[in-house]
Chain A
């Protein structure tokens, strides 16, 4: 896991925290924006990035 990948993972988690705040907005458009940005962040993590703890887990086995 490169440092770049790990940084991207952490920053995406921060983005998801912001989306969670926006998801409580009264405006449907804002809520949908939050839903979609959160979905993009999760999809990127699932499909492109390596979980930072994978190597650590694996190394400790």
Chain B
């Protein structure tokens, strides 16, 4: 029996054991001491966890600003911090700093390796690594993930897109890791220069992606174009600086529907809670993901609210694992929500609607105050080809999709792809929609 195949009862027993030990380790920690004061040593740690006040990004930033660089929550001597990871800072609130001991560094690799193993990487297999390196957790954890099970990670993110394709053709990897934007961008370049992906990459059998949502139609197009199955993993810098969920062998799309990502419950406790009521959501419902680390030594977290909006899909999967699952390809941020003409709209949902249309190649969106002083959604769209007939058909498709899904009628302009921002730099999270209404209102 491997740890990812534990029956639920044994999984809960393992979580309970680890959580009890984690709580005892944190009782004297200045950041957690008050939070744990009313938690008894006896009884079920998993029940006790529910009474611990959740923590959020603001509290972590306040803590580290008061006692830089790691905050009072650091639970090892500073000299035991082997590596640091920082969050991307895309929230605009500031960058969190998380410390890792050598155990945490190695664990990040072992945990991340499950994503590669489930996608099909085997002992000694080469894989291409299409993500840049920085203090962000994704690069380190995922590279170590390849090394924990396979071999020879080809680093290609430092090269231009044509050069990346050239390296890939020589390396002939079994799989490639990269963001949807980067995978999309590589395919676009391949088509522009006449690079035959299937002929040049005969061994490629999986694409592993993360960090951005994607529509089913896009996933199917990528699988067809690359001749490889698509998989997705999910992670947060806070989740022990590693990934903490991944698609199983069944992939990101199963029988034309979104697949599951399995949460790594043997090393974390996950809660998916309604953001208003803080009650657990039911199978099929959306909620905010809360993470409690069970093994992390340097910067452990109890009930951290990620602000990530996930769809809970239960604990049953055709693969036989009994881990909690979330829907693949649809994770967004609660912080990203825009209110357009009274409608709650998430940029990721608009991206899905646009990339779901085969004729759309790239786009950018701006929510601004229009000439009549009201909200307007302006879309600049580049199509796969130019032409009046195609533009007319695309305009009809886009307007129909936005009316049906968001009850919003966008103002459309068709442009050349070179006139739009390029989201093909894999270390940057794509931001295709901006909201300039504050600026407009100030004028």
Residues of A that sit less than 8 Å from B by CB: 1-2, 5, 35-36, 39-40, 42-44, 46-51, 54-55, 57-58, 61
Q: What B residues does A46 contact at CB under 8 A?
A: 103, 107, 110, 267, 295
Q: Give Cα distance in the complex from A5 to B6, angstroms.
A: 13
Q: Which 10 pairs across A and B sit closest by C-beta, in order of nearness?
A: A39-B102, A43-B106, A47-B110, A43-B107, A39-B103, A46-B295, A47-B107, A40-B106, A42-B103, A47-B111
**Min distance, Cβ A22 to any Cβ of chain B, angstroms:** 14
B6 touches A50 (CB 8 A): yes
Q: A48's closest neighbor in chain B, by CB?
A: B110
Q: Give Cα distance in the complex from A58 to B17, angstroms.
A: 11
A50 touches B295 (CB 8 A): no
Is B9 at the interface (CB under 8 A from chain A)? yes
B101 touches A49 (CB 8 A): no
Q: What A residues does B104 contact at CB under 8 A?
A: 43
Residues of B that sit less than 8 Å from A by CB: 1-3, 6, 9-10, 13-14, 17, 82, 101-107, 109-111, 113, 266-267, 295
Q: Give Cα distance in the complex from A44 to B106, angstroms.
A: 8
Q: What A residues does B267 contact at CB under 8 A?
A: 46-47
**Min distance, Cβ B303 to any Cβ of chain A, angstroms:** 20
- Tell me which of A1, A2, A47, A51 has the highest count of chain B C-beta atoms within 10 A of its own C-beta: A47
What are 25 A-B contacts defined by CB distance under 8 Å?
A2-B1, A5-B1, A39-B102, A39-B103, A40-B106, A42-B103, A43-B107, A43-B109, A43-B110, A44-B106, A44-B110, A46-B103, A46-B110, A46-B267, A47-B3, A47-B111, A48-B110, A48-B113, A50-B2, A51-B17, A54-B13, A54-B14, A54-B17, A57-B13, A57-B17
Contacts A39-B103, A46-B103 given; does A58 touch B10 at CB 8 Å: yes
Q: A57's closest neighbor in chain B, by CB?
A: B13
B9 touches A58 (CB 8 A): yes
Contacts A47-B111, A47-B295, A48-B110 given; does A39 touch B13 at CB 8 Å: no
**Min distance, Cβ A60 to any Cβ of chain B, angstroms:** 11
**Min distance, Cβ B19 to any Cβ of chain A, angstroms:** 13
Q: What B residues does A2 contact at CB under 8 A?
A: 1
**Min distance, Cβ B206 to any Cβ of chain A, angstroms:** 20
Q: What A residues does B107 contact at CB under 8 A?
A: 43, 46-47
Q: Give Cα distance in the complex from A35 to B77, angstroms.
A: 15
Q: What B residues does A36 contact at CB under 8 A?
A: 102, 106
A39 touches B106 (CB 8 A): yes
Q: What B residues does A54 contact at CB under 8 A?
A: 10, 13-14, 17
Q: Give Cα distance in the complex from A44 to B171, angstroms.
A: 29
B105 touches A39 (CB 8 A): yes
